[in-house]
Chains A and B, each alone.
Chain A
Amino acid sequence: MATRSVSPGGALLRTSRMFALPSPIPKPPSDVTGKDFYSDTMTQAFPTHQVITTLSAPRKQGDWGLKRPLPLRSTTKSSKAMLRVNAIDSVEQITDYTSGTDHGMTLRKFQALGLPITLRQQSQVGQPFSATQLHIPTPSVFDDEFDFTAIDKKKQDESTDQRWKFSGPWLSGMPQGDFKKWLAKEVRPKRPAFRAFLRERIANEMNEAAKLAAVDKGEEPPAPVEASSITEDQVIAYLRKLRHNRPMLYDMVGKFLDLAPVKPSSAAEEGLAFLKTQGKVLEYRDVKSPWAESGPPVTHPSAGLSYLRTSMYMENHPIYGPQKHHPSVQARVIRPYRSQGNQAAKLGVAGFVVETPVGDSLLNSKTGGKWSYIDPTLVGGAKTWVQPQRATVSSHGKVLMSINDASTETTLVTQELLGEKECLGTPLVQPQLHQPREDAKELRKRYAAGPPAMSSAEDYGLDSKSL
């Protein structure tokens, strides 16, 4: 098949930003129902619009590959060229854009951590990771068992325990009002379809039973029963049987509506036998789906943040050799401990808010009150060195990270690599430590006589820093 020739105008349009920009995805779902304190302009849990960038030279001309050049005053000041386009062309004939550095830089910082995204651990209330299970490895979201992106329609039923995408809702997370609305609008019209589905099930079961009986007797299996030949009375009798077997009914309804798996009640998990005597059948069931407890995620479970499969690799230092831990990272103390209301401290790692390390609380502070107060004399706010352990994406699309205390040696080595401290390696050069940053005025003065004779990639705008 030969490729179709495209007219020059068509080729231009195809390669232009106008067609390359994907349409925005839905906003992150709000996790609190009656939330009274919020901001409509806060940074959302995940980006909904594509962030675009441009090279430094076109940026100076306002060229972002859009319909019209963007104003220089608001697009050239930031050190990072990242924009988010809300509308390429509005009614007022302007391009509606905002800064895209919030999510753009967060992504860059997160990828610098080198953390893989893992599946959420089960049976913890409100906590992404439990203290006792912190050292138990969790599977990566890219494990073949759980990484479903294209699902075969035929295998849909078999993969219920692994899939993360379902066409039906997750009933445990549905408020009562929404559930009623969903019943009335989505489920009720499907009554005849469910009866047809049941007929097929009955026919299947009857055929299987007949086949088994024939094999036992050593006879030829009888002709299979057609779904259409099942009478209404048979369906009603089957329905009555189903009504007393809730788990089986849920299985059928779940398959029919493609519902996300729900964690069974604790009674069912324990398999209480006495409930059978009360006319109800409650069997032991083990739901293997990692999404049964907190709901399936809104995106792919990795959220496209990291494509690493594991963090089980060693950092190698040029002088000290392989390191036990990954480099420590600096965390910002976003909010200190408050004894009033027993509020825990909140730290910020790579632009995400995280809980304090396991075992650290107001009464048992590992840092000795460092996170209890705001010190206004500290330039840039209080920071602390931590060791990111693992990250997972919640069903609301939030990135939940767990951190640990950084080891002193690792922190020292990291700081030495950053040129902040001196360890066993090369001694620091003092001017290198306290090199004042050149401001624009000084730079202009230096370049007033023309650029220096020696040229570099940076001068031509080829260096990554100048982007």
Chain B
Amino acid sequence: MSCRQWLSSAVRRLPSGAGQQQTRALSTSTPDAKGLQMLPRAGGGGGSGGGGTMIRRVVGIRGGNPNNNNNPTDALQSLLSLGDTRRSGRGPVTAEEQREIMEQQQQANNARLSVRDLRNSATTDNFLSYMPRRWKAGDVYSPRDLSPVEQKKWTKRQAPLKDIVDLLGFNPLDNYKNFSFISEFMTPFGRIKHSRETGLRPVNQRKVAKAIRRAIGMGLHPSVHKHPELMRLSNQGFPMYVPRTTSTAEKKL
């Protein structure tokens, strides 16, 4: 009897009614959230509070009389009589059952937390796709740098500001066997990139183009896909640039 009193008092202490709980469950948009709203909520009265909602959930699912929900003692009674099919008798809730309820609630709580983490993570990812700048220590930021107009400029890959061939001081024609260098200056479909993408000055662009044509002509480099060695590297998880999709249709906010 004392156990019953404890549970019922916990139910009474809960701020929200069972009817509210139901409407809330229906109004949530995400399907996973909907399922979880049916589960006991954390907080409130802690363990006892969770136990109370548990009872109401069972009542709600069974489609019992809504008036019953207002009376926690009746709700508890209905649980004890109908809820547990394993139980044949009508005695009070034993300590073992109580522990079971607590465990169940703990599991649900953990699931709820992990889903909350997932949801937060998805929200963060969505927001961060609008803030693509990778800040480095020592960068100066003003409010304008955090603005959408400024952040949008960091989404697009731009031609390098410096001529890489000049900077590294090598002759592209000597490097026709360097597949990593060759594939840097051509598309995966075998087209030579324009100088506005490569950022090379005309002399070096011509040299690079000739090196690519030579490599393909000698059969050293595939002309219709990426070099197999690079594909192997990317399959093994080596860092390779993969362009990010920034289509607004994909945002899940």
Q: Which A positions have Cβ atoms within 8 angstroms of B?
A: 30, 33-46, 101-103, 105-106, 128, 175-181, 334-336, 338, 343, 346, 348, 351-355, 372-376, 394, 396, 398-401
Contact of A102 among B142, B153, B165, B167 (CB under 8 A): B142
Known: A336-B124, A374-B123, A376-B123. A352 touches B139 (CB 8 A): yes
Instruction: Tell me if A374 and B139 are in contact (CB < 8 A).
Output: no
Among B136, B157, B159, max chain A CB count under 10 A is at B136
Show 26 residue pairs from A and B whose CB-CB distance is below 8 angstroms, ordered by the A residue.
A35-B161, A36-B158, A36-B159, A37-B154, A39-B154, A42-B145, A43-B140, A43-B141, A45-B138, A45-B139, A105-B142, A106-B142, A176-B169, A177-B166, A179-B169, A180-B169, A335-B134, A343-B134, A352-B138, A352-B139, A353-B135, A376-B123, A376-B127, A394-B138, A398-B139, A400-B138
Closest-CB distance, B204 to chain A (whole angstroms): 10
Q: Is B44 an interface residue (CB 8 A)?
A: no
- State the 10 A-B residue pairs at the shortest beta-carbon distance, nearest first: A398-B138, A177-B169, A102-B142, A39-B153, A176-B169, A373-B120, A353-B139, A346-B135, A374-B124, A353-B135
Instruction: Tell me if A33 and B140 are in contact (CB < 8 A).
Output: no
Contact of B168 among A39, A41, A175, A372 (CB under 8 A): A175
Q: How far is the CA of A372 from the CA of B121 in the complex (A)?
A: 8
Which residues of chain A are near B141, meaning CB under 8 Å?
43, 334, 348, 351-353
Q: Which B positions have Cβ atoms within 8 angstroms of A?
A: 120-121, 123-124, 127-128, 131-142, 144-146, 150, 153-154, 156-162, 164-170
Known: A43-B144, A175-B168. A38 touches B137 (CB 8 A): no
Residue of A nearest to B116 (CB): A373
Instruction: Tell me if A34 and B138 are in contact (CB < 8 A).
Output: no
Between A and B, how many residue pairs show CB distances below 8 Å? Answer: 131
Which residues of chain B are near A41, meaning CB under 8 Å?
150, 153
Among B136, B137, B166, max chain A CB count under 10 A is at B137
Contact of B167 among A45, A178, A352 (CB under 8 A): A178
Residue of A nearest to B162 (CB): A33
Which residues of chain A are near B157, meaning CB under 8 Å?
36-37
Which residues of chain B are near A181, meaning CB under 8 Å?
169
Instruction: Tell me if A400 and B131 are in contact (CB < 8 A).
Output: no
14 further A-B contacts with Cβ under 8 Å, apart from A43-B142, A180-B169, A374-B123, are A33-B164, A33-B167, A37-B157, A41-B153, A46-B140, A103-B142, A175-B167, A177-B170, A181-B169, A334-B135, A338-B128, A374-B124, A400-B138, A401-B137
Contact of A176 among B135, B142, B160, B170 (CB under 8 A): B170
Which residues of chain B are near A400, meaning CB under 8 Å?
137-138
Known: A42-B145, A374-B124. A103 touches B135 (CB 8 A): no
Closest-CB distance, B168 to chain A (whole angstroms): 5
Instruction: Tell me if B154 and A38 are in contact (CB < 8 A).
Output: yes
Which residues of chain A are near B156, meaning CB under 8 Å?
37
